[in-house]
Structure 1
Amino acid sequence: MSGVLVDPFAARPRFRQPCAEDLAVATPSVTTDQTNQDVLEVFAVHRDLACLPVTEADRPIGLINRSIFLSQMSKPYHRELYNRKSCIAFMDKEPLVVDAAMSIDALTFRAVEYGEKALADGFIIARDGKFIGLGQGLQLMRVVADMQAERNRQIMHSIDYASTIQRAMLRTSRETLAATLPDAALVWEPRDVVGGDFYHFAAFEDGWFAALADCTGHGVPGAFMTLIASSLLTQAIEQQGPRDPGALLMAVNRGIKQMLGQMPGQMGSQPDGQLEGHGGASASDDGMDAAFFWFDNATRQLTFAGAKSALFVLQPGDAEGEMLNGARMGVGYVDTDMDFAWQNSTVPTRTGTLVFVTTDGLIDQIGGPKEIAFGKRRMREAIRASRDAPAVQISQAVLEVHRAWQGPHRRRDDLTFFCFRAR
């Protein structure tokens, strides 16, 4: 039915949070009027009973540990002395007593604070102050583990759905790139299910615009930043056009700072040490490193502006290639001036010119025998070694060298790079 929005999570049953009452196991109990002989008889009948609650007017006042009790009663003359005395003689007078409505999270904290006795002997569960059952430490740990597994499952389901949204956001750019540049390759590999890197590609009658950006963080926080930065970039292109990469970096910089309230000198803190989120002080310091470039079809010139990003250009006949460095200033951060101007650089291209740009996930990856960063030098060597191959093969060669360098080490960051050959 058209016009109806469907919540993708609505059909899933909600997970009911258990409480202490769910752990209550009905067990025998004794009253303060009963004797230690009565306790012996209860333990004799209920051989799997580890602890016996003691109540007074149905209200729990103590807990008798089976092992401790039998150990005491087995001592010489103890039965003669204590058999007819009140069962409170060997009772723990300070057991953990919790209300039936207490959440499992709160119960877990209480049990940990109470110490290992609560986990070993268990805890008494009461409703309106009256005894209803015993809870066991092992049972509590199992429930906590199940709850954590369910929470993780829900979180991963949400992240998987977020990944679908993020990939859909990038799909148009990838399809436009494939239709515009016959010899090009784009690699986008988030470290986690979603990532903090994004790319943008748009074709126009007189040329094309491309951007690679590495937002603060990775995973879910990074993915949120990609949505913010990508939408600001799209808006800037609509308003200013795609032909001035430096001006577009300025526009995105202003947008991030205004949206997140990240103005210089506004990283304030409250007396309790928490960052302020209102009243003019920013609680965040987020932004991105980026490479923006415009290719003019008529002049065959590439105009580049970078924020902590560089462009590697390998011209035909040039054995080494050239690194074109951007400004050493990130986009959107608190310390980045609102009116900071990124300068454009122009690169002439001709048939066979190879251009390569990457986020720092490629360069900063730790690996090798000395466990150091992959670095720009190894990146350039890998590109030069395959310089005559199509862009797809060059990107694959770079990935293979990079993965061999990484070896058993964990991926440090999202990995995104783009290369194309001019024709």
Structure 2
Amino acid sequence: MATHLGLRGKSIATLLLAFLLALVPAVLIGWMAVEEVRRHFATAYAEQYTLLQMQRITAPVSRELALSRRFANSVVTREWLRQPEDPERRARFLAEAEGFRQQFGSNAYFTIDHATQDYYFADQRSEALTPHYRLDAEEPQDAWYFSTMASTSTYNIKVSHDRVLERTMLWVNVKVRDSGELLGLAGGALDLEEFLASVIRTEAPGLTSMIVDPRGILQAHPDQSRLALGAISNPLDADSQQRIQSSIDDAQQREALRQAMQAVIRRPGDIRAIDVEIDGAPRLLSVGYIPELQWLLVTTLDMQSAPIVEGRWFWPLLGALILVLGSLTAAFAFATHRLILAPLQHLTLSARTIASGDYRPRLPTQRHDEIGELSQAFSHMARQVADHTRNLEAQVHERTRELENANAAMAAAHQQLDDSIQYASIIQRAILPDMQLCEHLVAHHAVLWKPRDTVGGDFYVFRATQHGYLIGVVDCAGHGVPGAMMTMLARAIIDHAIAQQGADDPAALLNEIDRQSRQLLPEAQLPSSIATNMDIGLAWVETACQQLTYAGAKLDLYASDGNQLEHLKGHKRALGHRRQARYTNQQLPLHPGWRYYLCSDGFLDQAGGRHGFGFGNRRFEALIRSQAAAPLDAQLAAFEQALNEYQGPHSQRDDITLLIFCTESDVTEPVPHRPPSPSQG
């Protein structure tokens, strides 16, 4: 049993609620302030760290550039490049170059003789100064040298993979000139892997550094599997996982990153910071541009892991705030009890007396405050309750009698409506040609007619003549009573069309039925919400010629012997469609052992299965193949069982009609079926 709080409990609960309402905004505001401070310091921290990392990158490159310039401008280097075969000049060059080699970052240097285009490379393992290979202007991989020599700049810095040396390095290329004449290139190199590893290696918690090129291709990353090593020489070799954009799922955040990268490229020295989610985790991303290398340094900061703002002082402050608010609440509760709750206890006892049925006022009305006014109001209420109690039973009796009469009238109206619908069902069943089918086809037909409601918009037709018989299925727009009314009109139109056109030309019948329905139900005079179209499939069976002629409007004919299956498709437009169609006949030879199937879309569209999809043509055709050799009554039971099992708990969506017929009941040797041949109706 639930415990109901009294006024004392509610007042205490109200005080606690006021306490929470005061505490929660204070905590939220304080938390927002702390977060804003954290973000401010985090942004400054990330930007300063990015600038520091950029300096760490540019410092060794600047040192390498200064050494390379001295090396290229050395008199000994220029003298040797003028006469590389001179032993004395070679010896002096080797001695001086060895000193430069020991100062270069990777203990290696290179020179290129512009006259012979010989490429020299020396490191700590080199024993003699011999050309490693000769540059070729026709080689695409050597084009960098010729473009460098043709440029007006005195040096350039590039990252490339030397195909002969099989080394990927950061090369500092300085032109060697003597009296304005180009003698070649010289310079040092930094091992790219060691250089990048020293840059991205950091012990700062929550910080991750990576280097990308202007396209976003990763050049340095803590996860070596994501590096685009092949993209150093050809950016097209990088896949999507080797780009920084692949770590960001949100398209707007990727666009913000692209704009930030473009902004820092336009203004080197600036740092841009944006909020992103990398691999699903929120990060503060800062990016800066290194124009000497044409690289961008990207730093991501996890503000939860980085020591931005210490939070240990927050909880003592929160505890002090709670203590102050708790003390104020206790003082307020004591005052409320003395001034309000104690007087109201007496008022509560008096109110309970009134609730028990004693309406004589025994309330404290001598007070001249809100409690006194409340007591006077209770006294007035007691008199009013006594008056209303006397009249209540009479009013309840009168209302009960009125409700009983209304329920009786509703039950009678409902019974009349049910009787009318049942009578309409009897009338609709009377237009179905069951007797004619049993008389002419005997056991060579089977029908499943299943309206969604008691009456529906589906029916089937049969008309026998001296030369054959016409059989078909009609699906009128709508279901229930409106659909049943449409079936009566459609049956009359079909009978009139048969009387005019005969039964042996299904296409002519469809065209005539379409014309008459448009004449009786002009589209311009009907509301747009009312549909008057009909789906019809008609088959003329001429047993003497062993020929079947079919024409359909959105209804198809299936034929099968269990091994083969033929599918004659009806026209894609229904009768009464706003765009009028011309319907044509399709012919099919009759063979023993073949069964022929017509069904409305209620069967094919019935929702069911795991996902509530329609039954579908494929499932229907598979069911035909599996049941075509069985007796018709067994087939009908199998079709109905399959539909019910597929439908499961789903409600019936539309009226369902399935008509199966054949030329004979027993088949001993099926005959292969020829494909249908179209002909004009």
User: What range describes the TM-score normalised by the shorter chain of this pair?
Assistant: 0.5 to 0.7
Correspondence 1:98-137 to 2 at 5 A: 135-136=398-399
CA separation of 1:151/1:72 partners in 2, compared to 1, >3 Å: closer, same or farther?
same
Verify the 8 A CA contact 1:183 1:392 in the aligned structure 2. no
Is 1:179–2:439 an aligned residue pair?
Answer: yes
Verify the 8 A CA contact 1:247 1:341 in the aligned structure 2. no
1:300 is aligned to 546
Query: Secondary structure of 2:431's partner?
Result: helix
Residues of 1 paired with 2:497 and 2:589: CA distance?
A: 26
1:216 Cα deviation after fit: 1.1
Given residue 150 of structure 1, which amino acid in structure 2 is its aligned partner? A
Selected match of 1:169 from 425, 431, 449: 431
Is 1:392–2:392 an aligned residue pair?
Answer: no
1:255 Cα deviation after fit: 2.1
Which fold has the larger relative contact order, with Cα–Cα distance below 8 Å and residues 6 or more apart in sequence? 1
Query: Secondary structure of 1:248's partner?
Result: helix
2:198 is aligned to none
CA separation of 1:139/1:167 partners in 2, compared to 1, >3 Å: closer, same or farther?
same
Given residue 563 of structure 2, which amino acid in structure 1 is its aligned partner? A
CA separation of 1:161/1:74 partners in 2, compared to 1, >3 Å: closer, same or farther?
farther
1:194 Cα deviation after fit: 1.1
1:284 Cα deviation after fit: 2.8
2:479 is aligned to 218
Selected match of 2:646 from 382, 405, 408: 405
2:567 is aligned to 323
Verify the 8 A CA contact 2:478 2:531 in the aligned structure 1. no
Given residue 321 of structure 1, which amino acid in structure 2 is its aligned partner? L
1:57 is aligned to none
Q: What CA deviation, in whole Å up to 9, does each residue of 1:333-389 have, x standing for no partner?
A: 4x142xx31111111111112111100111111112232211122222222112211
Q: What CA deviation, in whole Å up to 9, does each residue of 1:143-177 have, x standing for no partner?
A: 4433332221110000011111111121xx11111
2:558 is aligned to 312
Given residue 251 of structure 1, which amino acid in structure 2 is its aligned partner? E
Residues of 1 paired with 2:602 and 2:506: CA distance?
A: 22
Residues of 2 paired with 1:168 and 1:158: CA distance?
A: 15
Is 1:260–2:513 an aligned residue pair?
Answer: no
Verify the 8 A CA contact 2:548 2:588 in the aligned structure 1. yes
Verify the 8 A CA contact 1:252 1:332 in the aligned structure 2. no
1:90 Cα deviation after fit: 4.9
Selected match of 1:241 from 490, 502, 506: 502
Selected match of 1:153 from 408, 415, 422: 415
CA separation of 1:74/1:215 partners in 2, compared to 1, >3 Å: closer, same or farther?
farther
Residues of 1 paired with 2:478 and 2:360: CA distance?
A: 63
Query: Secondary structure of 2:460's partner?
Result: strand
Selected match of 1:380 from 607, 612, 621: 621
Q: Which runs of 4+ in 1 moved over 6 A?
A: 70-73, 121-124
1:320 Cα deviation after fit: 4.0
1:407 Cα deviation after fit: 1.6
Residues of 2 paired with 1:300 and 1:71: CA distance?
A: 98
Residues of 1 paired with 2:394 and 2:484: CA distance?
A: 44
Correspondence 1:74-93 to 2 at 5 A: 74=361, 76=363, 90=384
Query: Secondary structure of 1:210's partner?
Result: strand
Query: Secondary structure of 2:640's partner?
Result: helix
With normalisation by structure 1, the TM-score equals: 0.63
Query: Secondary structure of 2:619's partner?
Result: helix
1:260 Cα deviation after fit: 2.2
Verify the 8 A CA contact 1:202 1:208 in the aligned structure 2. yes
Correspondence 1:348-363 to 2 at 5 A: 348-363=589-604
Verify the 8 A CA contact 1:262 1:284 in the aligned structure 2. no
Residues of 2 paired with 1:242 and 1:298: CA distance?
A: 16
2:491 is aligned to 230
Selected match of 1:190 from 451, 467, 476: 451
Q: What CA deviation, in whole Å up to 9, does each residue of 1:57-97 have, x standing for no partner?
A: xxxxxxxxxx99x898646278x989xx9x9x959xxxxxx
Residues of 1 paired with 2:486 and 2:496: CA distance?
A: 15
Given residue 368 of structure 1, which amino acid in structure 2 is its aligned partner? G
Query: Secondary structure of 2:519's partner?
Result: helix
Q: Unpaired runs of 5+ in structure 2?
A: 1-353, 366-374, 386-391, 665-681
Residues of 1 paired with 2:430 and 2:564: CA distance?
A: 38
CA RMSD, aligned part only?
3.5
Query: Secondary structure of 1:312's partner?
Result: strand
Correspondence 1:263-274 to 2 at 5 A: 263=524
1:304 Cα deviation after fit: 0.8
CA separation of 1:287/1:71 partners in 2, compared to 1, >3 Å: closer, same or farther?
farther
Residues of 2 paired with 1:387 and 1:152: CA distance?
A: 45
1:35 is aligned to none
Residues of 2 paired with 1:149 and 1:160: CA distance?
A: 16
Residues of 1 paired with 2:544 and 2:402: CA distance?
A: 71
Given residue 363 of structure 2, which amino acid in structure 1 is its aligned partner? P
Verify the 8 A CA contact 1:200 1:211 in the aligned structure 2. yes
Query: Secondary structure of 1:331's partner?
Result: coil
Residues of 2 paired with 1:123 and 1:332: CA distance?
A: 62
CA separation of 1:74/1:321 partners in 2, compared to 1, >3 Å: closer, same or farther?
farther
Is 1:415–2:656 an aligned residue pair?
Answer: yes
CA separation of 1:330/1:122 partners in 2, compared to 1, >3 Å: closer, same or farther?
farther
Selected match of 1:368 from 609, 630, 646: 609
CA separation of 1:186/1:123 partners in 2, compared to 1, >3 Å: closer, same or farther?
same
Query: Secondary structure of 1:298's partner?
Result: coil
Residues of 1 paired with 2:454 and 2:358: CA distance?
A: 56
Given residue 299 of structure 1, which amino acid in structure 2 is its aligned partner? C
Count of matched residue positions in the alignment of Structure 1 and Structure 2: 298
Verify the 8 A CA contact 1:225 1:287 in the aligned structure 2. no
With normalisation by structure 2, the TM-score equals: 0.40
Query: Secondary structure of 1:176's partner?
Result: helix
Is 1:332–2:576 an aligned residue pair?
Answer: yes
Verify the 8 A CA contact 2:543 2:663 in the aligned structure 1. no
Residues of 1 paired with 2:423 and 2:579: CA distance?
A: 33
